[in-house]
Every structure is written in structure tokens, then in C-alpha cells.
Amino acid sequence: MRKRMSGLHSAHCRAAPSPAIIPAMEFLPYRKILRPLLFAIDPETVHHLAMGALRLGGRALRPLAPTNDPRLARTVFGVNFPNPVGLAAGFDKNADALPAWETLGFGFVEAGTITARAQPGNPRPRIFRVPEYQGLINRLGFNNDGADAIAAHLEKLKERDAWPRIPVGINIGKSKVTPLEEANADYLLSFQRLQHFGDYFVLNVSSPNTPGLRALQDRAALDSLIRDIQSRNTLGRPVLVKIAPDLEWDAIEEIIGLAHEHRLAGLIATNTTIDQGALPAQLRRQGGLSGAPVRARSTEIVRFITARSEIPVIAVGGIMTADDALEKFDAGAALVQLYTGFIYEGPRLVREINRALLARAI
């Protein structure tokens, strides 16, 4: 197993647009009190309230950020991570709350998915909880403010000395209105506009909620996209590709081959799944399923990649407990990311994972 990092205290990320409530939530039982209250509200409304609180309180609460145990620190693709538990793309789409995530104990954050053009995403409702299965279905559709607006916001963060002390990844995708044959130019616009801000970049070619996007995982299309991005990667930023859990093994092998050929920094396994067979028919919705139902498949893919390559893998998918995270590390993951597990378990899950890793190190 590879070395990792830690994060102990945290402040909870939910409800009320006042930053003062975030540290107070540290002392409240998330699972028994806060989660039932929050789950009684529309999930997208809760998300906006949480992001409002984090945006207002992130920098002010920096003194509450946990001290990371150096035994868990690691360097992956040339980036130093204070702990191996990150926030997955999709939560902080516009990089609104970057200063807050280290306060919650995360070792890194991945902003986005960001597209070249601003877009509203798909019509609401577009997020559906499936608590009986610890799952979440979303069909958000890359709703974000666009690369130009987000780059301007990130520049202001740097000017105000509010930039987070943890690594920031930037996840980019194709604008919905851009034809598939013009996808490369669309990704390049985002990459070049944001290149100065990200510690690493992720090409999201695997969301099921932008029509035709997953066709970019095909060998020829992905080869062309990676080639164009790397040719403009003048700052030498680590570039990764995020893949779907629904790929066949031969397709994953082709992507591993492309990763070696183009010297990708790593792969992220996996995005949400379109396979909702684990759910009864009445709970299924159009969109991508995340959470516990995708855990086993995600781990299987991580193990498949790491058995065939030394390329670093960031594992995401179904990490609802510390044991789920340890399963990913045992499969060969270099880092892990949370999304649905964070929604169901709160920031405490970050601490539990880091403590489990520390216990192994003793």
C-alpha cells in the first residue's frame, strides 16, 4: 500500500447561508439529526444552501482546518497531497468554495465540471436521492458559469490571498451546444483559459448527462483529444482522464494504452453508471447513479487498471465508509474522492478514512 495523509477535525457543510453555522455543526450528530432534516428538503436546494454557507465562511474558518499527519502525506504525479481524501468533481462546479474544503478535512478538491461556455444544465428536478440503497441519481448536465467567468473568479481568489493550501484539480468537459466533431477545440478553450490555476486537470469524457459525450472514450476520439491537449500543455500540468464504469474490459485496456502513449498523469475510476439494475424499477430515473450501488464495479476497474499499469489511479465510486476507502487503496488506488458518501455521511467520513489509514500505519 502506498503512503497517504490525514485530516482530523472538520466543520460540517450543510444548511443555512451563515458561515457561523459550519463550525457549530461539528458538535451535532450528522447522521441522526442533520441528515434527516436535510433529506426532507429538495436535494438541489440543500446543495445551494450548503455552497452558500461554505462560500461565505471558507476563508474565515481557515484557522479551524485540521492538522494533517505527515505519515499520510504523499506525492502523486508530482503534486503534494496533505492527505489522500479529495472532494470529487460535481460538488463545487464553479469553484465557489475552494477555501472551505481544507477546513472540512479534505486533502484536495476537484472543481468542475467546467465547460468553455456557460450553461444552465438540464431541467429540474435533476438530483434524486435513493436512501434505501445509499445512492444518488443525477442528470445535472454540466451546469456551470463557463471557463471565462470561473477563471476570473479564480484570479480574484489569488489576488485576495484566499487560495486554498490544498491541491486544486480542474475537471473540464464539452459544452452541450458544441458538436461532437468540434469537441477538441471546446476542451482546449477551457484548458488554456484555466491552465494557470489547476494543480492537475481532468478530461471528463464519461458523464452520461451530456448527449454523445461518452463517444469520446472511443480510442480514436480519445487519442485525438489527449494529443491536442498535451500539445498545448505548455505549463506541463498533470492531465488525467475520467472513465465510465460501464466500459468493457477491452475499451479500458485501450485507454490504458493511450495513457502510456501520451504520458497521462493518471486515470480517475469511475464516473456515475447508467446501469440501474441494482434498483427496483420504481426508483430508477434517467441519469447517472452513484453511491453504494457502484462501489463494487468501481473497485473492480481500479484493480484492473493497477494490475496492468503503474499509472496512478484516483478512485471514486461508492465510498460510503472507511472500509470502502480501504478497499480502493487495497485495489491499488493512489488517492480517493468522495461525492455521494460525503452527502450521506458528512465531513466525518473524511476523518474516519484518514484515521483508518493512520491505524494501518501504526
Q: Is 298 helix (H, G, I), strand (E, B) or coil?
A: helix
Amino acid at residue number 102: E
Q: Catalytic residue, from 6, 207, 290, 298: name it.
A: 207
Q: Which contiguous run of DSSP H or E holds residue 243?
A: strand 239-243
Please return the burial class of 257, using the count of CB atoms within 10 Å of its CB with bins 0-12, 13-18 and 19+.
middle
How far the first Cα of the chain sits from its last, in Å, is: 14
Q: Strands across the sheet with 288-291, in order?
A: 127-130, 135-138, 288-291
Grid coordinates of 91: 460538488
Residues 6 or more apart whose CB falls under 8 angstroms from that of 181 comprise none
Q: Annotated catalytic, 207?
A: yes
CA atoms within 13 A on the CB side of 127: 18
Q: Looking at residue 88, what DSSP letter applies?
A: P
Non-local CB neighbours of 182 within 8 Å, separated by 6+ positions: none
238, 206 in Cβ contact below 8 A?
A: no
Positions marked catalytic = 207
